Chains A and B, each alone.
Chain A
Amino acid sequence: MAHYLHWILFLPLVAAAFSTLFLRRQGAIAAWFSTATAFTIAGLALKVLLTGGDVTWHIELAKFGDISLGFGYLLDANARLMLFVVSFVAAWIHLFSVGYMQDDEARGRFFAGLSIFMFSILGIVVADNLLMTFIFWELVGFSSYMLIAHYFDKDYAAAASRKAFITNRVGDLGFILGIAMCLSLYGTLNFSELAQLKPVSGFPVILGALLMCGFLGKSAQFPLHVWLTDAMAGPTPVSALIHAATMVAAGVYFMARVHFMLAADVLNLMAISGAGMAALAGLCALAQTDIKKSLAYSTLAHLGIMGCALGLGRPDLAVLHMAMHAFFKATLFLGAGSVIHGCHHEQDMLKMGGLLKKMPLTAATFIAATLSNCAVPFFAGWYSKDAIIEAAYEHNFAIFAFLAIAALATCLYSGRMIRLVFLGEANSEAAAHAHESPWTLTLPIVVLGLVYSIAGGFLAHSLIPASALGVVAKPLEEMAFHLNAPATIVGLLALLLGFGGALKFYGLTRGKDALQVISPRTYHLLEHRWMDGLYRWYIDSIQQRAAEFIAFLDLLLINGVAVRWIAGGVPAVLGYFTGRSLHRGQTRGYALWIVLGTLFLAWFLIAR
């Protein structure tokens, strides 16, 4: 089996290197080449999923002192599912990109970036130790940086790429410290060895908290969530693949993998902050007019739900929701991409409207995925989200309440999106002349959307043997529809109030946001980015000023006073004995030093 994994992992790296070196100007070839590798990988991943069976394989890369740093695979049920989800979604997004990026001059670079991203994310999936996870973790950050900066001549894209990379690195700082602590305490970084340890007093809280930092950064959890909405500056397929379906899910996957190392306090924190973020981000999505940014907040909300599931001690549910979310959120983003493409690069939802008739295929899939997003019973999102709300109800009422708000908010912003984009009348020239997208764009949406968002749950049973699904088999089996279960009641109420209400409410005004018209204050409260403001203030008023001050001190004290004084003083004293010859010229002065040194050396050698 390990040889399959070699192919899966290194094929994209080869594709990326080949495209970078030879296909920079042959964008069309690079696009199809990259897409072909992506589908090959998806096929291999499906093969691995269906074959089943765990894989362990390890080699040593280097030895620093007595620390052995290695590279290896640990393929368990979790990893097989993730491998399939990532490669399958990615393959279709590659195909979508072929059409979407058709007119882009830098297609070669774009597809090389996608391939590098594939290499990185697949590395995280199969990694068998913390260090290897970290390596690919960093590479994911890099590929995200490059792809967000695709339109680098725009200032906002340049700024967004930097923000994403640096925010991720803030999280990675904690991750590194966690790795070092793990090595220090247990002498190994290998997942299977760590899992067998079972220390008497449990794993320390601080270790779990440090490892969680990496998750906070990569999965855009509070307070490191600020980069994700800006990351929408990248091309839409990138938003779909990286910033909705896979990269942000990598954090959830990693937490599920090291779940046994997280102490109870860490889990509680994750549950509360995840649920809180889910509620808040869902409401913030209401105050966005850019369709991609609104979806980005929706992603934040779902990541919060996944974080909450992890915190509730149900990593299986988190992984299940991640898989379902990957399908419907990728569909939503690709649908948004198709809408943007159809409306001649208009992203403002207030300028859309009435697209249901003009782009029927896109609309149908988008609405299907939206219903999945809202957790309508028997749609993919329902299977996992409902179970998480159920778990929260058993665990803690506050978390349950937050999740209920989140469910309501989800229905609200979903209804708003459908109302503004697809219903009503066209609100701009661009929307009036919209057209359905070509097949390279619609086929991926149809496959991902209709097949997987709607029937994800059913199909998972019939398409894929339960043994292959492994980790999610249990929650899937447990799933049942009880009308009197609190989660179901909450879900249905949210649907009725939220979705229906939003459809009605956002029909009140035309070309304007109803909430903004009726209550500008509330709108502003939700739109304003409080944490961004806080960080901006820290960077400008504290960090940069401290740096300037230290640079000033360095110039004044070290370079100025200490050095000049000594440098002036010593030659002055020497000059007293040497007839001030040192003052005549710098080069000559130096030559004198050398002569003195040589004489001193000669004396020493002869005298011995």
Chain B
Amino acid sequence: MDTFPATLLQVAITAPVLIGLILIAGRSLPRSFASGFAFTGFALPALIAPWLLVLWINDATSPLQFRTDGPWGFGFALNGLGAPLLAMTSLIGLAAGIKALTQDVEARNTYLGLILFMLGGTLGVFATDHLIGFYFFHEFALIPTFILTLFWGGEGRRTAAMQMAIYLTAGAMASLAGILIALDAANLSFANATFVNVADSLGTAKNIPAATGALVLFGLGTLASLFPFHSWAAPGYSAAPTPVSMLHAGALKKFGIYGIILLGLSSLNISQGTLGSWFLWLAIGNVFIVGLICLTQRDLKQLLSWSSVAHMGPIFLGIWICGASGKAAGLDAAVFLMVAHGLSCAALFLLANAVRQRAGTYRLDELGGLASRAPVLAAFFIAATMASIGLPGFGNFWGEIGVFLALRAQPLWIQAIVASTVIISAIYALRAVAATFFGPTSAPLTARLETAPFGDINWIERIAASILLGASLTIGFMPSLITKSTNPVSTGVANFSQRTTTAPAAKPAAPAQSLPSAR
């Protein structure tokens, strides 16, 4: 296999980490040097990862590509599901990096270094096929997130960071237990503990405890704010500094789901039996209950945070239907939505911060009439909002419609509850747009215009937002950029996920087949 792309993949992941190390070690590096270094760290992955995705879809024959041996014993390799997520993360990283570079913060070099760590870790998660590697990189990305929120966050950062730490640690512990049990049952050595091998071996494993699937689903589900393990998410995103919110809600959260797909869905039958019905109901909770909670929000950033929890619902449902009835369409759509939501959600956090910089507040009742002052900001914000509520042309549409279509054989009322998201999300999103931008200029804003006059968004903010929205439009107009990459793998995963229900007839001799693994 071509080794040049493999080297590039390695560069894309190690560059942010190494540059982050340099910045943290060199706390007194001059500002311009530090900015240059940091920008390189943010830009390199964004140059490499989308290109790797294009290379990937042009030759989507083998399940893994660009394989190399990583420095810590687990190699890097891209699979068809990870490639689009890697590209998405790299673009969010670049936009978040641009935002971070414009911020004036204390201990700037450390701040930038930690964000680079977050980025490197997240990229690592999507570029490894190794179970322990997955876990390692996920912690590697999460720890800087806590520190960044705790020290550089906004209002309520201490409580939020603590709550987040407790939740995510508990989730991580549960998922680690699940991972280790699965590894043990698969009887694999460390070097061979790849997702594919685990999935292969678990098909014939004898004694896998019933709760393993639950540990993985709920553990990793906590990372991805699966209802009712979501309470940390909204305060956590709200309190974090904007680049961290962008990366966390946009990209980091997705690796919990990625883990659920590669381990839970492929190997642990999370969509079947009792656990499966729990999964379904909790995912519906994300769509409907959290959707209703969004309706009550009165703070722009809180609303974005909650809505990013609600938008996880369709993703979970896509995964659920893939495991429950072997419909690869559900998984294709879920990954599509993960990518698209990452882009739109990061753009919204970025633009909401631009609102706050101008208006000095996130409170919807104090905002109003901003569009006459900042028409370009309004246009960007409306575009990002439309993306997030699934307007065709943006990527989110394909993800949502794909999930709906994958659920087509379900009872009509389940479909109706799920599809009600198109109404609920439109209500709260457009309400926020109107409260922020439309109507006459609000009294607090008029007062602020006298004390701190402001203009439209500047070029740097426009570039950062354009990267994200441009990417969303690109996959909106050319959805095959994602589906060509994911389709072969999701078909494989869908087949894997159906083994316990179909295999007993084929291989009655293997006792493990009849063992319900997660009931």
In the complex, A601→B135 CA distance in Å? 10
Nearest chain A CB to B436 CB, angstrom units: 11
Residue numbers in A under 8 Å from B293 (CB-CB): 547, 550-551, 554
Q: How far does the Cβ of B413 sit from chain A's closest Cβ, in whole Å?
A: 10
Interface size on A, as a range, is 35 or more
> Are the C-beta atoms of B289 and A180 separated by less than 8 Å?
no
Stretch of A77-85, A248-256, A274-282, A556-564 lying at the B interface: A556-564
- Binding stretch for chain A, among B16-24, B43-51, B392-400: B392-400
Out of B158, B295, B386, B491, which one reaches A544, CB within 8 Å?
Answer: B295
Residue of A nearest to B475 (CB): A62
In the complex, the answer to whether B332 meets A177 with C-beta atoms within 8 Å is: no
Q: A166-B430, A605-B190 are in contact. Are A139 and B404 (CB under 8 A)?
A: no
Q: Which residues 171-188 of A have a CB within 8 angstroms of B?
A: 172-173, 176-177, 179-181, 183-184
Asked if A65 is at the interface of the complex by the 8 Å CB criterion, the answer is: yes
* Inter-chain contacts of A169 with B (CB < 8 A): 422-423, 426
Task: Tell me whether B514 is interfacial, beta carbon within 8 Å.
Answer: no
Taking a contact as CB atoms under 8 Å apart, the answer to whether B176 and A600 are in contact is yes
A350 CA to B423 CA, complexed, in Å: 39
Which residues of B are found within 8 Å of A153, using beta-carbon distances? 369, 371-372, 438-441
| A 109-142 contacts with B by CB, 8 A | 109, 131, 134-136, 138-139, 142
Given contact pairs A142-B391, A558-B228, A586-B162, A593 touches B426 in the complex (Cβ within 8 A): no
Those of A21-43 within 8 Å (CB) of chain B: none
Instruction: Kindly provide the distance from the CB of B204 to the nearest chain A CB, expressed in whole angstroms.
Output: 19
B169-A65 in contact (CB<8A): no
Query: Which residues of the other chain, A, contact B404 by a CB distance below 8 angstroms?
Result: 176, 179-180
Asked whether B458 is an interface residue with its Cβ less than 8 Å from the other chain, the reply is no
B422–A176 contact, CB under 8 A? yes
A278 CA to B306 CA, complexed, in Å: 43
With A131-B401, A153-B369, A601-B176 as contacts: A184 and B434 at CB distance below 8 Å: no
A65-B406, A152-B437 as given contacts; A165 in contact with B426, CB under 8 Å: yes
Which positions 439-487 of chain B face chain A at CB distance < 8 Å?
439-441, 478-480, 482-484, 487
B173 within 8 A of A: yes
A3 interfacial contact with B, CB 8 Å:
no
Interface residues of B in 259-311 (CB under 8 A from A): 289, 292-293, 295-296
Q: Mark A59-77, 1 if CB is under 8 A from B, else 0.
A: 0111111110100000000
Interface assignment of B412: CB less than 8 Å from any CB of chain A: yes
Which residues of chain B are near A57, meaning CB under 8 Å?
Answer: none
Q: CB distance B401 to A166 under 8 Å?
A: no
Q: Which residues of A contact B231 (CB under 8 A)?
A: 554, 558-559, 563
Within 8 Å CB of A593, what residues of B?
169, 173
A177 near B483: Cβ-Cβ < 8 Å: no
B511 to chain A, nearest CB (A): 24
- Given A131-B401, A169-B423, CB of A590 within 8 Å of CB of B165: yes
Cβ of A467 under 8 Å from chain B? no
By a CB distance below 8 angstroms, the chain B residues around A61 are 478-480
* Cβ of A14 to closest chain B Cβ, rounded Å: 13
Interface residues of A in 422-468 (CB under 8 A from B): none
B498 at the A interface (CB under 8 A): no
CB contacts (< 8 Å) of A589 on chain B: these are: 165
Nearest-neighbour CB distance to chain A for B301, whole angstroms, equals 16
B161 touches A (CB below 8 Å):
yes
Enumerate chain A interface residues (CB-CB to B < 8 A). 20, 60-67, 69, 106, 109, 131, 134-136, 138-139, 142, 145-146, 149, 152-155, 157-159, 161-162, 165-166, 169-170, 172-173, 176-177, 179-181, 183-184, 206, 543-544, 546-548, 550-551, 554, 558-559, 562-563, 567, 570, 586-587, 589-590, 593-594, 597, 600-601, 604-605, 608
Give 24 pairs: A residue, B residue, CB < 8 Å, sorted on A: A63-B484, A65-B327, A65-B332, A67-B329, A69-B479, A106-B375, A134-B392, A153-B439, A155-B439, A155-B440, A158-B434, A158-B439, A161-B438, A177-B412, A180-B407, A180-B408, A543-B295, A547-B292, A547-B293, A554-B289, A586-B162, A587-B150, A601-B132, A605-B132
Contacts beyond the supplied A63-B487, A154-B439: 5 A-B pairs with Cβ under 8 Å: A60-B480, A62-B480, A136-B392, A152-B437, A161-B438
Interface residues of B (CB under 8 A from A): 132, 135, 139, 143, 146, 150, 158, 161-162, 165-167, 169-170, 172-173, 176, 180, 189-190, 228, 230-231, 289, 292-293, 295-296, 327-333, 336, 369, 371-372, 375, 379, 382, 386, 391-393, 397-398, 401-402, 404-409, 412, 415-416, 419-420, 422-423, 426-427, 430-431, 434, 437-441, 478-480, 482-484, 487, 490-491, 494
